[in-house]
Amino acid sequence: MVISSSHSFSKSNLEVVRKNTANKTNLKRFTQNGQIQIYQSSYRGSYSSIIRDSLRNAALGRKVLLIQFMKGGVKQGVTNPIKLCGNLTWIRSSHSFDQYKSESLENNNNLKKSIYESTLELWNFCKKELQSGENDQIILDEIFLAIDMKIIDKDDLISTLESRFISGDVILTGTDIPKDLLLMANQITELRS
C-alpha cells in the first residue's frame, strides 16, 4: 500500500500562519515538504498497489502524475496521456522494450534507438514536471531499470530530485536501486511476493 505524506500540497495551496504581535498581523507562508519514497521488489510487475493508490489519491482530489518508463504497447508518449478521475495523468513511453520480443530487438538498431529516444523524451518531460510543483504526487515507475539500461543517467536523476519543487511526494520504483538514491529516500518499502 502506498502511504502518502499527509501534509503535501501543490504550489497553489501554501499554508498561511498568522502571528499577532502588538496589534500587527504578520503573515508567513511556508510550503510543506514532499517525500521521496522508494518501492523496491525483486521482480518486475509488482507495483499494482501503487497504481491502485494513485487512482485513490486522484479520486480524493490530489493531482497525480504516473509515468511508466518501461511499459508500452499503447503508443502513448508525452503527447497522448491518459486522464483518469480528473486528477490522474498516466503516461507510458510511446515505444518500450516490453512491446517487442528480444529476438526482434537484437539486430534492429533503429528500433533500439527509437525506444531510447522515447524513454528520454519521457524523462525530459518528468524533469519539467518535478520542477513545476504542479503535482501532489509523481510516480516514476521502473525508473531504476531505465538507469540500469543506461537510458537515464543516475546523476541526472539525483540532481533533478535535489532541485525539484518539494511540495509533492515522489515515488520511485524498481528492482536494482543505486545506494545514492536509497540514501535520499524518506521511506523505503520492499515489496515481497
- State the residue range of the domain holding 88: 15-191
- Residue 64 resides in a domain: yes
Residue 180 domain-assigned (yes or no): yes
142-190: per-residue pLDDT in tens?
A: 899 889 889 999 999 999 999 898 788 999 998 888 899 999 999 998 8
When divided into structural domains, the chain yields a total of 1
Q: Is 3 a member of any domain?
A: no
- The grid coordinates listed for 43 are 521482480
Do the domain assignments include residue 75? yes
- pTM, two decimals, is 0.77
Cα dist. 126→7, 24, 44, 123, 174 in Å? 22, 43, 21, 5, 17
Q: To the nearest whole number, what is the mean pLDDT of the chain?
A: 80
Residue 5 lies in a domain: no
Burial class (CB in 10 A: 0-12, 13-18, 19+), 120: middle
Count how many Cα atoms sit within 13 Å of the Cα of residue 182 in the half-sphere of its side chain: 9
Is 7 a domain residue?
A: no
Whether residue 9 is contained in a domain is answered as no
> pLDDT (tens digit, 9 = 90+) per residue, 69-81?
887 766 688 888 8
Question: Has residue 44 been placed in a domain?
Answer: yes
Residue 173 near residue 141, CB atoms below 8 Å: yes
Residue 112, domain CATH:
3.40.50.300
